[in-house]
Chains A and B, each alone.
Chain A
Amino acid sequence: MATLKYLPGRAAVFIFALVWLVIAGMPFYFMAMTGFKGRFELFSGGSVFDFPKAASLENFQDVLTRGTFFRYLSNSVIVVAVSVALILLFSAMASYVFARIPFRLNRPLFGLIVAGLVIPLHVTLIPVYLLTKQIGLYDSLWALLGPYVAFNLPLSIFILTEFMRAIPRELEEAARIDGSGPMLTFWRVILPLSTPGLATLAIYNAVALWNEFVFAFVLITSPEYRPLPLAIWEYQGEYSMNIPAIMAVLTLSALPLVLIYIVGQERVIKGIMAGALK
């Protein structure tokens, strides 16, 4: 009886779930489906909802072999990997000081860095552009490192400091009694114990930087140094009439993260939400 009473409610919930499934999933379906279509299939009166007439991998092959997709991919991998490594190292060092070493400027400095969380990066765009030109880094992958590291340090330090504060002090004291100084303790005790926090932050920063656009847009002009988001934006400008080809590019650029997500869903969600969930 009870289940019967709740049936209309359950059905309504299920319909709502399905509707949102269509809203959330349809654009992806459209993107992948169109990628398999021929160049003129959309123009010849076919509906976008149709399956491809003759599904072909042609667009994907074109993008992967003829174009410079792998160049952009490797640009993105390099700049993201180096930035994330630097962010993790620097934020771990700073967090150790903030979490464990009391000194007069500890709280004020920490507060100042956390305030960096709300600063809109656009206010720095013009000066960073001018600075990059001055020091001769303009239009190279290295130009992105400085802003990428600086703008992701505050959140990483904020999260890691909280994480390190939760590590029992006894472990550190044991190390000190054994004659280990602060730097060695950091390296041998605190850093290994912070691995879960570091992993979450690695995912968070990697996803954020993988998708970053504004600094790449302002600091890089040459095609050979474009990271992926900038490359697909330029690609879209050049091939605006070949919609299936653009959809193939979008699908390929989203693929790495989607694959990682399918393998380690919970970890990726936790990583992306690192800024909001504690």
Chain B
Amino acid sequence: MASVASQDAVTLKTARRRAWFQWNEYTLTIILFLLPTVFFMTVFVVWPIISSFELSLYKWNGIDPVRTPIGLDNWTRLLQDQIFWRAFGNNLVVVVLSIAIQMPLGMLLAIMLERAGRRLIYRIFKTVYFFPMLMSSVAIGILFKYIYDPSFGLINQFLKGVGLEGQSWLGEPNLALVAVIAVICWQYTPFYMILFLAALNGISEELRDAALIDGANQPQYYRFIALPLVRGTLRTAVILSLIGSLKYFDLIWVMTEGGPSNASELMATYMYKKAFPSFEMGYGSTVASALFIIVMVIALASLFLTRRFETEV
């Protein structure tokens, strides 16, 4: 790897020694080959971000030809908007619970599958375990809406069968968010399971053999040898889960639309509600821009922190 990098650096240097711009076949290739990417990224990603921030300075319903400039009013409104902060808080709950539930569960399943090796029964288990990743969030949301249904749903019928009282899972403000997070965990645990399984399989056999010969038992092997070795993968998983959870939309929208009374509102669902059904394009853009800032800050912070962590350990 290092030799390739230094080789790259050498070619880069010789290229720099030449004129900054030289019209030849390579320049033409660079321009032609990057053109589609730059075009799509500019029109559909970069410009919309800038435009979002600009729109946040207006009061506008999206239809009128006239947009009323109102300075930073939308932003002061956002800072005092309790529903937005509630949505932000809910997003944090989703982040924390997702990581706290999916990572250990995914790791346990991965360890189990790794130890089982290629035994047929466990291969069937693995096939089924991955099923949730094949369905769209929309389909999963609809399916679980009926599983949570107070009268015909799977869960309440099961509870009735064992003599317990059912709940209106998605209708109770203090249950809705947890009920939705349970579905998120159901959907994404297989993702982390496969991720960890690949990492565990990447550890060399000799290392395990050596540990076992030295008298370590299986739990000790995982605790003291395997887990530290897959630390990098764990870190990746946490960052993926963190950033993914902040952007969550589809499943919540289908199951609860953020309700009841904002109990399961997330930043993304709130942004959609403000912009589209209530035609507040200006304020909707403010919420969208805030979401962008929050995600970027957290993403940069986590990258920075983990990189520092890496050098320390």
Contact = CB atoms under 8 A, between A and B. Distances in A.
Given A181-B25, A276-B237, A269 B194 contact: yes
B49 A27 contact: no
A93 B37 contact: yes
B146 interface: yes
Nearest to B54: A127
B45 A116 contact: yes
Interface stretch (A42-50, A55-63, A64-72): A42-50
Interface in B248-289: 249-250, 253-254, 267-268, 271-272, 275-276, 281, 284-285, 288-289
Best-buried of A102, A130, A183 by chain B (most CB within 10 Å): A102
A128 B292 contact: no
Contacts, number: 249
Nearest to A9: B218
Interface of B: 4, 8, 11-12, 15-16, 20, 25-27, 29-30, 32-34, 36-37, 40-41, 43-45, 47-49, 51-52, 55, 62, 108-109, 112, 115, 122, 125, 127-139, 142-147, 152-154, 157-158, 161, 186, 190-191, 194-195, 198, 236-237, 240, 243, 246-247, 249-250, 253-254, 267-268, 271-272, 275-276, 281, 284-285, 288-289, 291-292, 295-296, 299
Given A147-B44, A150-B44, A253-B139, A93 B154 contact: no
Top-4 shortest CB links A-B: A211-B136, A124-B48, A150-B44, A127-B48
Interface residues of A, number: 91
Interface string A118-130: 1111111111101
A27 B143 contact: yes
Contact of B152 (A42, A258, A273): A42
A171 to B, nearest CB: 15
Nearest to A276: B195
B8 A102 contact: yes
A97 B47 CA distance: 24
